[in-house]
């Protein structure tokens, strides 16, 4: 059997790292098995879905290297949902309900007051034709609920193991809104069933959805897919959300993170594997194993992403980065320069700081410590230099002047780079060379 999975985001905002982790796990899982991956937009909510968000989803996935074999939009499939609705109504599994939201809220409060679970009492099954006529005269339109059977609902979850629900302990879910729009619970089953999706991997917040969808699959005569429910990601500050900025893929891309840094982190969070940088998707696919995911909540920390990003850049070969340097208008960066600075970059665009300091004009600081800089110039070691030269030089200055810490390093940085901050001088010194450093010290 060829495995077939799908990622079905709603185009109501930009993808955040939690969404992308689900997409990535599905993609790695099916690529490891040689199967197919579908991108399917859950855009039935026409009020909140936006064309620009749909385009952004595709763009962000392509940037990450997550490709799809098939594409679909739920907004193109309303005829299929209507046919499923008619089939379920005819089978007595879908029934109209005329209660208002206010009436349902009151009923739930009464149940809570009596210590009862908030399960729908199926009052709609007892209404008469006269009641329905009165409701429709009042202008009410029905929503439709799925009649769950009172029997065990079980499945073997790829992450959680054996999962069991009892149909009588679950409330009949609403499948069709008052305006006739099908909800996710029905639409996704119809899509998955008709399209032949074999495995559904999604967040653990969908476990209760799965419990009712298993019976919907069966009622419509579809094969029930294999399910896997991943523990959700959280930040130190709480839940991930489309409404909270900074954790969306677009922002991370704009900040200069490498796509493989994002992939390397998200693919291993919540697993027993160490989090380490992967240079390409092929290596990530080879290392993937769904059985390694645990049930504990994983904490997403952007500092982990920053460390992976630095490690990736430090080992990135010049031929891989050359086209991107040209796009950043740094075509003049040659292989020797790249190999020297790549171990000191946090983001690729930081190379501009190095280039400007090494090859640009440095304006001497307005106020300088002339006597200190004269002594530093006298103690500047002759070439050849190594990565140890900076430490040897500053130790000699420290012994001669008694200075240390900021009083030692700050005036040297200002004189050599003209900046309060910037790249590590330990690495920068070798790029500048003896003559350049001495000239800048004397100019200051």
Mark whether 194 and 311 lie in a shared domain: yes
Mark whether 50 and 188 lie in a shared domain: yes
The CATH number given to whatever domain includes residue 301 is 3.40.50.620
Mark whether 204 and 251 lie in a shared domain: yes
C-alpha 304/C-alpha 168 separation (Å) is 45
C-alpha 117/C-alpha 143 separation (Å) is 22
Q: Which two tokens stand for residue 317?
A: 């070969």
Kind of pairing, strands 143-146 and 174-176?
Answer: antiparallel
Mark whether 276 and 198 lie in a shared domain: yes
268 domain-assigned: yes
Q: How much is the average pLDDT of 34-41?
A: 98
134 domain-assigned: no
107 domain-assigned: no
pTM, entire model: 0.88
Q: How much is the average pLDDT of 23-36?
A: 98
pLDDT in tens, 74-103: 999 999 999 999 999 999 999 999 999 898
Residue 172: phi and psi, rounded to 5, are: -55, 120
Residue-level pLDDT at 23: 98
Quickly tell me which residue has 């409701």 as its tokens: 135
- pLDDT tier for residue 223 given thresholds of 50, 70 and 90: very high
Mark whether 277 and 241 lie in a shared domain: yes
375 domain-assigned: yes
Residue-level pLDDT at 38: 98
pLDDT surpassing 80 at residue 225 = yes
Mark whether 65 and 191 lie in a shared domain: yes
pLDDT in tens, 135-171: 999 999 999 999 999 999 999 999 999 999 988 889 9
Residue-level pLDDT at 114: 84
pLDDT surpassing 60 at residue 317 = yes
Residue-level pLDDT at 118: 85
206: left (phi over 0), alpha (psi -120 to 50) or beta: alpha
C-alpha 322/C-alpha 259 separation (Å) is 16
212 domain-assigned: yes
Mark whether 67 and 188 lie in a shared domain: yes
Among the listed ranges 72-81, 362-371, 396-405, which one has the minimum average pLDDT value?
362-371
For the purposes of burial, counting CB atoms within 10 Å of the CB of 303, is it exposed (0-12), middle (13-18) or buried (19 or more)?
exposed
Number of Cβ within 10 Å of residue 246's Cβ equals: 11
- pLDDT tier for residue 422 given thresholds of 50, 70 and 90: confident
Q: Which two tokens stand for residue 63?
A: 């940037």
Q: Which residue has the higher pLDDT, 111 or 293?
A: 293
Mark whether 65 and 194 lie in a shared domain: yes
Q: Kindly report the average pLDDT of the chain as a whole number.
A: 92
332 domain-assigned: yes
- pLDDT tier for residue 319 given thresholds of 50, 70 and 90: very high
Q: How much is the average pLDDT of 185-204?
A: 97
32 domain-assigned: yes
C-alpha 74/C-alpha 9 separation (Å) is 11
Mark whether 231 and 270 lie in a shared domain: yes
pLDDT surpassing 70 at residue 50 = yes
Query: What is the extent of the structural domain holding 337?
Result: 316-359
Among the listed ranges 39-48, 206-215, 351-360, which one has the minimum average pLDDT value?
351-360
C-alpha 412/C-alpha 375 separation (Å) is 11
**Spatial CA neighbour of 207 closest among 232, 190, 241, 172:** 232
pLDDT surpassing 70 at residue 368 = no
Mark whether 204 and 307 lie in a shared domain: yes
Q: How much is the average pLDDT of 333-345?
A: 90
Number of compact structural domains in the chain: 3
Q: Which residue has the higher pLDDT, 261 or 414?
A: 261
Residue-level pLDDT at 268: 96
C-alpha 332/C-alpha 397 separation (Å) is 35
Q: Which residue has the higher pLDDT, 236 or 39?
A: 39
pLDDT in tens, 236-287: 776 665 544 458 999 999 999 999 999 999 999 999 999 999 999 999 999 9
124 domain-assigned: no
Q: Is there a contact between 324 and 348 (Cβ–Cβ < 8 Å)?
A: yes
Quickly tell me which residue has 């809104």 as its tokens: 177
pLDDT surpassing 80 at residue 187 = yes
Asked if residue 179 has a cis previous peptide bond (ω within 30° of 0), the answer is no
Residue-level pLDDT at 11: 96
Mark whether 219 and 261 lie in a shared domain: yes
The CATH number given to whatever domain includes residue 417 is 1.10.10.350
Mark whether 241 and 385 lie in a shared domain: no
């Amino acid at each position: 059997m060829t495995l077939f999975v799908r990622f079905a985001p709603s185009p109501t905002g930009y993808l955040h790292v939690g969404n992308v982790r689900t997409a990535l796990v599905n993609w790695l899982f099916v690529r490891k098995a040689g199967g197919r991956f579908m991108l399917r937009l859950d855009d039935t909510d026409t009020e909140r879905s936006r064309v620009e968000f749909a385009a952004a989803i595709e763009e962000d996935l392509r940037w990450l290297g997550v490709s799809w074999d098939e594409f679909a939009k739920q907004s193109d499939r309303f005829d299929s949902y209507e046919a499923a609705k008619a089939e379920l109504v005819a089978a007595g599994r879908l029934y109209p309900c005329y209660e208002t939201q206010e009436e349902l809220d009151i009923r739930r409060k009464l149940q809570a007051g009596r210590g009862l679970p908030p399960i729908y009492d199926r009052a709609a099954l007892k209404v008469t034709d006269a009641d329905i006529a009165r409701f429709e005269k009042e202008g009410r339109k029905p929503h439709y609920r799925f009649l769950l059977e009172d029997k065990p609902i079980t499945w073997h979850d790829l992450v959680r193991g054996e999962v069991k629900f009892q149909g009588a302990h679950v409330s009949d879910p609403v499948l069709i809104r008052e305006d006739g729009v099908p909800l996710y619970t029905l639409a996704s089953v119809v899509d998955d069933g008709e399209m032949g999706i074999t495995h559904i991997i999604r967040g653990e917040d969908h476990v209760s959805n799965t419990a009712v969808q298993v019976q919907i699959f069966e009622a419509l005569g579809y094969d029930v897919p294999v399910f896997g429910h991943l523990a959700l990601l959280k930040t130190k500050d709480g839940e991930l959300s489309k409404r909270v900025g900074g954790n969306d893929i677009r922002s991370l891309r704009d900040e200069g993170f490498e796509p493989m840094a994002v992939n390397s982190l998200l693919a291993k969070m919540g697993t027993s594997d160490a989090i380490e940088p992967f240079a390409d998707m092929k290596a990530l696919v080879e290392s993937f194993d769904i059985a390694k995911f645990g049930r504990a909540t994983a904490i997403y920390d952007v500092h982990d992403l920053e460390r992976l990003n630095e490690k990736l850049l430090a080992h990135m070969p010049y031929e891989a980065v050359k086209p991107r340097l040209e796009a950043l208008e740094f075509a003049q960066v040659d292989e020797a320069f790249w190999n020297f600075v790549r171990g000191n970059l946090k983001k690729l665009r930081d190379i501009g700081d190095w280039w400007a300091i090494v090859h640009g004009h440095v304006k001497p600081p307005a106020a300088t410590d002339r006597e200190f800089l004269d002594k530093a110039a006298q103690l500047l070691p002759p070439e050849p230099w190594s990565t140890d030269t900076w430490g040897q030089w500053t130790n000699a200055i420290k012994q001669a002047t008694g200075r240390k810490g900021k009083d030692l390093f700050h005036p040297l940085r200002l004189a050599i780079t003209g900046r309060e901050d910037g790249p590590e001088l330990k690495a920068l010194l070798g790029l500048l060379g003896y003559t350049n450093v001495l000239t800048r010290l004397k100019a200051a």
